Structure 1
């Protein structure tokens, strides 16, 4: 599996974990110093986990374009793509996402996640 496939597989796991409010998976997926940024502000790891506990599931989510990868170092990379999604009881939304991963001990972990509404 190449780097793009590896990182997109992790992104898909995060979408699934967020949809199912699987905070255990989310917790293991994030670095201890992870930050999430969007219209909701800046969230640290603890707050990201807390926010996901109370979210309704996604009715759907899908990737709109071919993801791009920018490898920063041997052990860090950013994946960028546009996604459209809708949570139960909420409006559909489209966002440009950039997720920065670091490889720690042979495992890719999410260190920084940013969403910009389209």
Structure 2
């Protein structure tokens, strides 16, 4: 499986995954920046937010690009379209940075800009 395919699967998993998924696939040191009112979150805050929120039911990731910026560090960008079971919809431009930890890609940074 290519790096692009592997990271695409990881990204999709973050949209639909459980707290355990996040715990397994977040880097030891990680952050996320989401639109207001959420703002910047540490790893622990990201994990806590998964316990509280409804997960996305339908998710489309389009125009994905993957760039290996340095050995052991990859950047991913794409456009996301998602909806919840209650009909809430969301579209964003997404940027993620992955690092290799113990031989596996882990999400170190994620930013979403509403589109």
- TM-score, reference length from structure 2: 0.91
Q: Separation in 2 of the partners of 1:34 and 1:55?
A: 19
**Do 2:12 and 2:59's aligned partners in 1 also have CA atoms closer than 8 Å?**
no
Structure 1 moving runs of 4+ over 6 Å: none
SS in 1 for 2:63: coil
Q: CA deviation at 1:61?
A: 1.1
Quote the residue 1:34 is aligned against.
30
C-alpha RMSD of the superposition:
1.3
Quote the residue 2:14 is aligned against.
14
Q: Separation in 2 of the partners of 1:43 and 1:57?
A: 18
Q: Which runs of 5+ in 1 are unaligned?
A: none
Pick aligned residue for 2:60 from 49, 59, 62: 62
Q: Which runs of 5+ in 2 are unaligned?
A: none
- The number of residue pairs the alignment matches comes to 113
- TM-score, reference length from structure 1: 0.89
**Do 2:33 and 2:112's aligned partners in 1 also have CA atoms closer than 8 Å?**
yes
Offset from partner CA, 1:40-74 (integer Å, 9 cap, x none): 200001110111111113231111x2201121112
Quote the residue 1:80 is aligned against.
77
Do structure 1's residue 95 and structure 2's residue 92 form an aligned pair?
yes
